Amino acid sequence: MKRFRTSLAALFLVTTPAAGLGNSATTVLSLTVPIRCSVDDMGGSIQGDRLVLQVHRSCNAGHMIIVQGDADESHGDVLVSYNGNIGSLAGDEFMIFQPDGYYDQHDIVEIEASSGGAEGLERLASTLSVSVVAG
C-alpha cells in the first residue's frame, strides 16, 4: 500500500504545474439549458353549468398561459377560472402570466357560460385550446 501512495504522489507531481513557474490556464465552462414548455389535455367534463378541464402543464421558465375559444353571443358572458385565477374569455382569449421559473403540475380549468346551457358548453368545448408560451 505504501508503494501505491508513493506512485500516486509522483503522478500528481508530474501532472500538476509547479507553483511559481508563471504558467496558468483558464478554462471557461458554459451551460445552456433549453426552454421547454408544454401543456397536455388530461380530460374534461360538463358538470352542471360548468365545463371542467384537467391539464398537465410543465415549463422550466416564466410563461404565459393562454385559453382560447370561439365564444359567441349565444354563450353570453363566458368566465374562465384557471387554478383560481378568474377572468373573462373576452375577445376569445384569456391569458395568465406565470412568473415561476419551474412549474410541473396538474391544473384545473373551469369555464362557465351565462347562457346556452349544456349544448352551448359542448359547442364551446369543441373550439377550446389551452397553450403556453415561454417568455
* 79: β partners: 88, 112
Q: Which residue has the higher pLDDT, 5 or 81?
A: 81
Q: Which CATH class is domain 37-134?
A: mainly beta
CB count within 10 Å of CB 97 equals 10
In the predicted model, is pLDDT for residue 17 greater than 90?
Answer: no
**pLDDT score, position 16:** 52
**pLDDT score, position 19:** 57
pLDDT tens per residue, range 42-90: 999 999 889 999 999 999 999 999 999 988 888 888 999 999 999 998 7
Could you tell me which residues come within 8 angstroms of residue 128 by beta carbon, excluding any fewer than 6 positions away?
51, 53, 67, 68, 69, 111
CA dist 127 and 51 (Å) reads: 13
What is the residue extent of each domain of the chain? Answer: 37-134
Q: How far is CA 39 from CA 5, 58, 91, in A?
A: 56, 6, 22
Percent of the chain with pLDDT over 90: 48
% helix, strand, coil for the chain, step of 5: 20, 45, 35
The structure's pTM equals 0.71
Instruction: Please spell the DSSP secondary structure of 38-71, one letter per residue.
Output: EEEEEEEEEETTEEEEEEEEEESS-EEEEEE---
**pLDDT score, position 22:** 66
Q: How is residue 25 written as a grid cell? A: 490556464
**Quick one: pLDDT band at residue 20, thresholds 50, 70, 90?**
low
Residue 109 backbone dihedrals phi, psi, to 5 degrees: -115, 120
